[in-house]
């Protein structure tokens, strides 16, 4: 069986960030029931704090979050890494970060 090739991402980092913020709230944290990790995300102006840097995505999570909560968030966010046309947003790694040099979870995006 041949694997379908993904279209290469042409999204700039700022576009990736906006798409991920929207996906987090639409897919997981917008309506009840919400996963436990939704309350652990750091938000600014109501949106999850995310930073895209090439093929890596950094997501801010509260330092009080457990590693299990961070890993569940990481896996969910990695799984919702597609744009409105079902193409990959363009990052390959998700890092749940609770502060400078404080990583609680890392996971890869499967495509």
> Model confidence over 42-66: pLDDT tens digits?
999 999 999 999 899 999 999 999 9
Q: Which residue has the higher pLDDT, 1 or 47?
A: 47
Whether the pLDDT of residue 16 is over 50: the answer is yes
Contact 109, 92 (CB under 8 A): yes
Contact 108, 71 (CB under 8 A): no
Whether the pLDDT of residue 7 is over 60: the answer is no
The single residue listed with the structure tokens 């029931």 is 33
pTM of the predicted protein model: 0.86
Distance, in Å, from the CA atom of 13 to the CA atom of 34, rounded to the nearest integer, reads 27
């Amino acid at each position: 069986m041949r694997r379908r090739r993904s279209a290469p991402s042409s999204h700039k980092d700022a576009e990736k960030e906006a798409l991920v913020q929207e996906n987090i709230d639409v897919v997981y944290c917008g309506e009840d029931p919400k996963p436990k990790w939704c309350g652990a995300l750091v938000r600014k102006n109501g949106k999850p704090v995310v930073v895209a840097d090439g093929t890596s995505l950094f997501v801010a999570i509260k330092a009080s979050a457990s590693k299990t909560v961070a890993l569940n968030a990481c896996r969910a966010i990695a799984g919702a890494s597609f744009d409105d046309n079902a193409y990959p947003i363009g990052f390959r790694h998700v890092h749940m970060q609770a502060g400078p040099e404080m990583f609680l979870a890392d996971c890869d995006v499967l495509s």
